[in-house]
Chains A and B, each alone.
Chain A
Amino acid sequence: MACALVLLLVLAGFLIGMLGGIDSAGANAQRAADMAALAAGKQLSGDPAATAADLRAGADSAARDNGGRVVSLTRLTEDGLPSGVEVSVAVDGERPVRASARAQVEFTAAEPAGSFRPVDLHGLAGRAAVVAAAAAQVGWPYVWGGESRAEGGFDCSGLVDYAFTAAGASLPGRPTAADLWRMGRPVAAAQLQPGDLVFVGTVGGAPHHVGIYVGDGTVLSAPHTGARVGYSPLAYGGWDGYASLLPAGPAPVDDPVAAAARRSGVPGHVLAAELRLGLASDPEAAAAALARAQDAHPGSLQEALAAQLGSASAAALVMRDGGGVDVGLSGAVRLVPVPNRGADAERGERPLPAVPAHAPGGRPAGPATGGSSWSDDLGTALDAGGHTAEQLGERGRAVPLQAAAALQHLSRFGLTALGGLLPDPDWRDAANLVGSVWDTYSAVRDLSAAAAAGGLELSGVGLWAARFSVLGGALSTGLFAAQAYSARRRRDRVGYGLMAVGSAATTAGLMTAGGSLMAMGATTSVVPPVGLTLIAVGAGICVTGYLVRHPEWCRGAARIGATALDVAWRAQTAPVRAVASVADRARSLAGSIPTPW
């Protein structure tokens, strides 16, 4: 007895030492993937236009620093806008292991302190630039004497001064409306071009209000206290003087986006950016939506955009695109779980070689094993608890709840427990038989789901179940072989022999996953179709072994089957027989009616 205990302990020590001795390639790979994804995500957060090739250099460096190499990098997009990166990393060594990580980037835009809304005037000059710079300020409140962001708004001449300065045509000093009137070259109302100024109060020679004519019979101005910078018709503003500070020249082309922005009273530069980035296709509809959002969020254009687009990150990218490089862009980078591959495929993202870690129907991708390998289910049950704890812990990453998966594994574990604890040996065999049938069915289902994808990817609960199944399967093989050797009845020898062969096949099937299956740090492992086939065949052989040991169950099953078939046949033919019976009765009744002739 003592020698057996020592041997058992030595075996346990060997197993533990083997697991500890296995290099932590899996953990290294996951860490390298995490760091590579973070590096690429950080680069993307500062430069949303960076391509996958641009991002790969930084990711490669981070992966190398952690002992891995980047296998693939995908720049993720959401509604056409950059949203993150997904990186797959391999660690080469005695046991090559791959791991993937996904970094999500949430962008934030920051306008320069003390400035009004910057606007990207690239390609614009003269009148068009003045109008664009002024049109970008729609929505600011009127503040008397206002000329800086610190003051929180504009007055009428402050708006003109800002627009000309932003367009590169700075005016001397800080002119008032009267100063602008004196500086300008009078023009007739009919000759007004976008960028010209319109005044109120020129009759006395010292106008007290000024606006910018933006074309299409519309004036942009900061009207009065309590109002906001906005558009008004030229005909109804009381404008009585018109002047130009800009050289005469061809009028800028009035594009439909600017016209839509004017009609809805929204900043033209962000509306144009939304259309450029593909977030909207109809200028009128987008302008109307932005106007509604601005009414709900009058204090912040970025908040209004976020409400309109449903994403603060998209709003920041629009602000940056419309405002140019003066709008600072930063991003919060967070690692998120790599989602289900099936969902990725539905979204049209890069297909991956592995199948979902969770097969359709929510069942975890744990492999099936022979009915007597109790340790796999015990490990699975324990690991389910571990996963829940991990989810509740401060990991910084969401871990999908696997309660349903754990429940299924616990149910299977319950069958195994019954198979070990029931008092009657026949009952134990019956429970194990049901478990083996379950395993056969699961393996066949996994095989059909994974055959096209090149294998079944194991992770989380499934991976741990597989690890314990290997150990449990090896143990079962030995026990069944010993029972077959010592059995006295022939059918017991054959039955236990079949079970030993089945367990061996199941274990061999799992081992086809390779070193990543047992590497403690590995987070994923792929069982190829040939392995799944071995598992299915092995579980089937186990079922056969139980039936060989209990031929009476086969006879009972045959009797039940025959009875079921008979009942089904009777149920199916009942309507026909009922009709025939009614017809016979009718015929008999008709024959019994006396005839007068």
Chain B
Amino acid sequence: MRRRQSGQSSVEMIGCAVLLALTTVAVLEALTIVRARITAERVADQAAVLVGEGRPLPASLRGAAQIERHGDHVVVTVPLPLRLPALPAAAVVTATVPP
């Protein structure tokens, strides 16, 4: 009876640990996605302003994200480090700069 209770506790412990680990990973992934989105928004804003003012983009800005210019559009891409199925591979923000 006592051994049976001990086994039951071990199973519960392992189950809780797995659940905790999965939840932690999910939360971290959500945090990463939100962080990438915010970074992309900020970089896009700064890059669009600098391009609009006719100034060069500083290296620090290029280091934070991938910045491409297609005509009047500034496309900022921040890739996500962990690629999971059904989740976006990168946060992409596009800004349109006035000519």
**Chain A residues within CB distance 8 Å of chain B:** 2-3, 5-6, 9-10, 12-13, 16-17, 19-20, 24, 27, 30-31, 34-36, 38-39, 42, 58, 61-62, 65-66, 332-335, 393-397, 520-521
Identify the closest chain B residue to A520 (Cβ).
Answer: B38
Given contacts A20-B34, A24-B37, A394-B61, contact A38 B98 (CB under 8 A): yes
Q: Within B3-17, which residues are at the interface with A (CB < 8 Å)?
A: 13, 16-17
- Would B26 and A35 count as touching, CB distance under 8 A? no
- Interchain CB contact (< 8 A) of B48 among A20, A34, A58, A395: A34
- Would B30 and A16 count as touching, CB distance under 8 A? yes
Given contacts A13-B26, A16-B27, contact A27 B45 (CB under 8 A): yes
Given contacts A39-B98, A397-B49, contact A31 B20 (CB under 8 A): no
- Would A13 and B53 count as touching, CB distance under 8 A? no
Please, could you name 23 A-B residue pairs with CB atoms under 8 Å apart, sorted by A? Answer: A2-B17, A2-B20, A6-B19, A9-B23, A9-B27, A13-B27, A20-B30, A20-B34, A20-B37, A24-B93, A27-B41, A27-B42, A31-B44, A31-B45, A38-B49, A39-B98, A62-B98, A65-B96, A332-B53, A333-B53, A335-B52, A335-B53, A396-B46
Identify the closest chain B residue to A334 (Cβ).
Answer: B53
Given contacts A16-B34, A31-B45, contact A62 B96 (CB under 8 A): yes
Given contacts A16-B30, A62-B98, A394-B61, contact A5 B49 (CB under 8 A): no
Indicate if B50 sits at the interface (CB-CB under 8 A).
yes
Indicate if B82 sits at the interface (CB-CB under 8 A).
no
Chain A interface main SS type: helix
Identify the closest chain A residue to B38 (Cβ).
Answer: A520
Contacts of B48 in A (CB 8 A): 31, 34-35
- Interchain CB contact (< 8 A) of B20 among A5, A333, A396: A5
Chain B interface main SS type: helix
Contacts of A9 in B (CB 8 A): 20, 23-24, 27
- Would A396 and B50 count as touching, CB distance under 8 A? yes
Q: How far is the CA of A9 from the CA of B31 in the complex (A)?
A: 12
Q: Within B48-96, which residues are at the interface with A (CB < 8 Å)?
A: 48-50, 52-55, 58, 60-61, 72, 93, 95-96
- Interchain CB contact (< 8 A) of A24 among B41, B46, B98: B41
- Would A16 and B31 count as touching, CB distance under 8 A? yes
What are the 5 tightest A-B residue pairs by CB atom distance, in nearest-first order?
Answer: A39-B98, A20-B34, A2-B16, A65-B96, A38-B52
Q: How far is the CA of A10 from the CA of B25 in the complex (A)?
A: 11
Q: How far is the CA of A6 from the CA of B98 in the complex (A)?
A: 49
Chain B nearest CB from A464 CB (Å) reads 13
- Would B60 and A521 count as touching, CB distance under 8 A? no
Contacts of B61 in A (CB 8 A): 394
Contacts of A17 in B (CB 8 A): 30, 34
Chain B nearest CB from A190 CB (Å) reads 60
- Interchain CB contact (< 8 A) of A31 among B24, B37, B95: B95
Size of B's binding interface in residues, CB under 8 A: 36
Contacts of B96 in A (CB 8 A): 35, 62, 65-66
Contacts of A27 in B (CB 8 A): 41-42, 45
Given contacts A2-B17, A35-B48, contact A393 B30 (CB under 8 A): no
- Interchain CB contact (< 8 A) of A6 among B20, B37, B46, B60: B20
Q: How far is the CA of A488 from the CA of B95 in the complex (A)?
A: 59
Q: How far is the CA of A31 from the CA of B76 in the complex (A)?
A: 13
Contacts of A2 in B (CB 8 A): 13, 16-17, 19-20
- Would A19 and B45 count as touching, CB distance under 8 A? no
Q: How far is the CA of A425 from the CA of B49 in the complex (A)?
A: 52
Q: How far is the CA of A16 from the CA of B31 in the complex (A)?
A: 6
- Interchain CB contact (< 8 A) of B55 among A3, A34, A65, A396: A396
- Interchain CB contact (< 8 A) of B49 among A62, A396, A521: A396
Contacts of B33 in A (CB 8 A): 20
Q: How far is the CA of A30 from the CA of B44 in the complex (A)?
A: 11
Contacts of B46 in A (CB 8 A): 395-396
Chain B nearest CB from A112 CB (Å) reads 23
Identify the closest chain B residue to A67 (Cβ).
Answer: B96
Identify the closest chain A residue to B52 (Cβ).
Answer: A38
- Would B52 and A35 count as touching, CB distance under 8 A? yes
Chain A nearest CB from B73 CB (Å) reads 9
Chain A nearest CB from B31 CB (Å) reads 5
Q: How far is the CA of A532 from the CA of B49 in the complex (A)?
A: 35
Contacts of B27 in A (CB 8 A): 9, 12-13, 16
Given contacts A16-B27, A396-B55, contact A42 B38 (CB under 8 A): no
Interface hub of B30, B52, B54 (most chain A Cβ within 10 A): B52
Chain B nearest CB from A138 CB (Å) reads 36
- Would B23 and A10 count as touching, CB distance under 8 A? yes
Contacts of A62 in B (CB 8 A): 96, 98
Q: How far is the CA of A13 from the CA of B27 in the complex (A)?
A: 5
Chain B nearest CB from A11 CB (Å) reads 10
Contacts of A3 in B (CB 8 A): 16
Chain A nearest CB from B96 CB (Å) reads 4
Given contacts A19-B34, A34-B48, contact A66 B95 (CB under 8 A): yes
- Interchain CB contact (< 8 A) of B97 among A35, A394, A521: A35
- Would B45 and A13 count as touching, CB distance under 8 A? no
- Would A35 and B95 count as touching, CB distance under 8 A? yes
Contacts of B38 in A (CB 8 A): 520-521
- Interchain CB contact (< 8 A) of A42 among B37, B58, B93, B98: B98
Q: How far is the CA of A299 from the CA of B97 in the complex (A)?
A: 39
Q: How far is the CA of A62 from the CA of B97 in the complex (A)?
A: 7
